[in-house]
Amino acid sequence: MKAMTKFFSLLLVLCVLGSCVLFTACSDKPEEPEEPSVPAKEADPETTVQVEGGQIAGYSEDGLYIYKGIPFMAQPVGELRWQDPRPAEAWEGVKDCVEFGANFYQPKSAVGEPYTAEFLIDNDLGISEEGISMNIWAPADLSEAKEVLVYIHGGALMSGSGSIEIYSGEELAKQGIVCVTFNYRLGNFGKFACTELSARSDSGGSGNYSLKDCVAALEWVQENISAFGGDPDKVTIMGQSAGAGLVSMLCVSPKAEGLFRGAVISSGNSLATASLPTLEEMEKIGDERMNGKTLDELLALSAREVSLLSFSGVESYCIDGVYLTEASAEMLRSGKWNDVTILTGYVSGDISLSGGSVPSTKEDYETQVRELFGEECLSAYPSEGTEDYAAQFEEIYRDAQIAKLNYIAQLAAEGGSEKDVYIWFFTHVIPGPQADKLGCFHTADIPYFMNIFSAEREGYWTQADYDVGAMMAGYLVNFVKTGDPNGKDINGEDLTAWQPCEQADNYLFVAEESEMRSLTDAQTQFWTDYYKEGGNILF
């Protein structure tokens, strides 16, 4: 089990990095946005709407009203650096919201395998503690209220932005839904807790600031999205990698109750988390990390100085009694979570990030399986009858992920939930100069879900990619509209019927075409016992 724990610790670290893997150093102070390389859009008076704080205007394009850089909460600077979100300061007149706001403070991005520019923040937007804003793509037709998708970006809670190209809501909004992205606090700004901070907190606790900002964004959507033609009663949230972790926490946060009706969780489902540190444990760690400094001294530090503080040992989330009251597994088991319909899955590259050895002989295969999963696993995945031990070893990891998601559905059912859980496993390889080497890497499913085919890979896209995009975007739009992914793709073609998961661990296998698959009875029984007996939960 030690080897397994080490394996999955490394896997988790690598996987949650999301779309920003390589970084360059931050400057001594927050960077201001550079001059844009293309002229800014002109605000269209026809798009003017009233929101909390004042009036804003966006621009119109391709049948959409588009708004960028909307202030949905006060910028967390000065005394607000580590405080619960506050309402944005009101403004006079009409605020032009036609350009993305700055990225929240983080290292600048640098292109590197496998992530090309469309997966990374735009450095030209600058990085700043005043980098909290929201973006909305809405159909210009306001004749009836439309369903809403709120996308939460990934990046290990250290990097990323709602302005990254692959998160654009433009193409999905053309299918008749309202799409929202936003920025939240990252790194040391998003998780620091200490005794003195908790004493000053409005909610009585510190930490969880990334999660708190997500709740603030969803509350803003509830109060304001109708101005953009959205229906506040029909909100779905979606996140990938670290964003998937945030979606998972929102599913169990009492503060998020009633703010959404569906959740899409990609490459990072945390709903089976068995434990989280308490606020007191986090405060103790935070007090030690202050190294004798007072809170006021920390608040006086520059953003760069805060980003360089060593907060090692500080977890991303804690049980603060307000935003999180119990670990997610217990919340599901007891029926106290925000019971919603779930669409969740992984990509094939999520199981190949460890760099661990792959068995090539029968002896190596049996030794590794016993060490990682126990003797019983060999009954479900016997070495007899196979000649490709590496492929069967990979199959075990894939099935472990599928079964873990099915286990989440079982936990929810134990708590009385009657909501469906739909599972996918995505294997289509995104094209590029080294596609054969890179395979279906972490985050490679998102361009297909969002139907975004960047010019960064111009010359590589094929009709197969466009077809997979029409399929995945179709499933997603259907889910946002009805809570059921089934129906037509965005081109009007019939989709493969996607059945919600059952005891047989059934899931949608996505390649150039999709099909329903399931585990054998022996495999299903093994994983059911494995997780119920406290086996390691995959990321």
pLDDT above 90 (res 294):
yes
Kindly state the percentage of the chain with pLDDT values over 90: 84
pLDDT of res. 48: 98
- 177-181, 235-239, 437-441: range with lowest mean pLDDT: 437-441
Sole residue written with tokens 């299918």: 175
pLDDT above 60 (res 37):
no
- Averaged confidence pLDDT in the chain: 91
pLDDT above 50 (res 312):
yes
pLDDT of res. 536: 72
Q: Which residues contact 282 (CB under 8 A, 6 or more apart)?
A: 193, 206, 207, 314, 315, 318
pLDDT of res. 537: 64
What is the full DSSP assignment across 431-490? PSTTHHHH-S-TTTTHHHHHT---GGGTTT--HHHHHHHHHHHHHHHHHHHHS---SB-T
pLDDT above 60 (res 242):
yes
Sole residue written with tokens 């005891």: 503
Distance from C-alpha of 213 to C-alpha of 75, rounded to nearest angstrom? 11
Higher local confidence (pLDDT), 278 or 34: 278
What pLDDT, in 10s, does the model give residues 486-518? Answer: 999 999 999 999 999 986 789 999 999 999 999
Distance from C-alpha of 436 to C-alpha of 445, rounded to nearest angstrom? 16
Task: Give CA 18 to chain center in angstroms.
Answer: 9
Distance from C-alpha of 105 to C-alpha of 103, rounded to nearest angstrom? 6
pLDDT of res. 352: 65
pLDDT of res. 310: 86
pLDDT of res. 113: 87
What pLDDT, in 10s, does the model give residues 357-406? Answer: 789 999 999 999 999 899 999 999 999 988 899 999 999 999 999 999 99
**How many Å is the Cα radius of gyration of the chain?**
23
pLDDT of res. 38: 57
> Would you state the torsion angle of the CA atoms of residues 349, 353, 357, 358, taken in this order, to the nearest 10 degrees?
-10
pLDDT above 50 (res 1):
no
For the residues 159-184, what does the mean pLDDT come to? 98
What number of other Cβ atoms are within 10 A of residue 136's Cβ?
A: 32
Token pair of 59 as six digits? 């621009």
For the residues 429-436, what does the mean pLDDT come to? 94
User: In terms of Cα–Cα distance, which of 308, 290, 294 is closest to 28?
Assistant: 308
Token pair of 33 as six digits? 């946005």
Contact 189/257 with Cβ under 8 angstroms? no
pLDDT above 90 (res 128):
yes
Q: Which amino acid is at 43?
A: A
What number of other Cβ atoms are within 10 A of residue 118's Cβ?
A: 20
Token pair of 269 as six digits? 């489902």
Q: Which residues contact 408 (CB under 8 A, 6 or more apart)?
A: 269, 271, 272, 332, 342, 344, 421
What pLDDT, in 10s, does the model give residues 148-163? Answer: 999 999 999 999 999 9
pLDDT of res. 383: 94
Distance from C-alpha of 513 to C-alpha of 467, rounded to nearest angstrom? 9
pLDDT of res. 502: 81
pLDDT above 70 (res 35):
no
Distance from C-alpha of 338 to C-alpha of 525, rounded to nearest angstrom? 28
**Phi-psi map region of 65: left, alpha, beta (phi>0 left; psi -120 to 50 alpha):** beta
Token pair of 27 as six digits? 């400057």
- 113-117, 224-228, 302-306, 502-506: range with lowest mean pLDDT: 502-506
Token pair of 152 as six digits? 């939460």
Strand 49-51 with 54-57, pairing: antiparallel
State the angle between helix axes of 389-414 and 362-373 in degrees (0 to 180), rounded to the nearest 10. Answer: 20
Contact 401/15 with Cβ under 8 angstroms? no
Q: Is 380 exposed, middle or buried (0-12, 13-18, 19+ CB in 10 A)?
A: buried
pLDDT above 60 (res 28):
no
Strand 134-139 with 178-182, pairing: antiparallel
What pLDDT, in 10s, does the model give residues 338-355? Answer: 999 999 999 999 976 444
Q: What pTM value is reported for the model?
A: 0.93
Q: How confident is the model at residue 269 (pLDDT cuts 50, 70, 90)?
A: very high
Higher local confidence (pLDDT), 335 or 26: 335
Kindly state the percentage of the chain with pLDDT values over 70: 91
Compute CA distances 68 → 97, 134, 168, 179, 359, whole Å. Answer: 5, 6, 11, 12, 50
pLDDT above 80 (res 4):
no
Distance from C-alpha of 112 to C-alpha of 164, rounded to nearest angstrom? 16
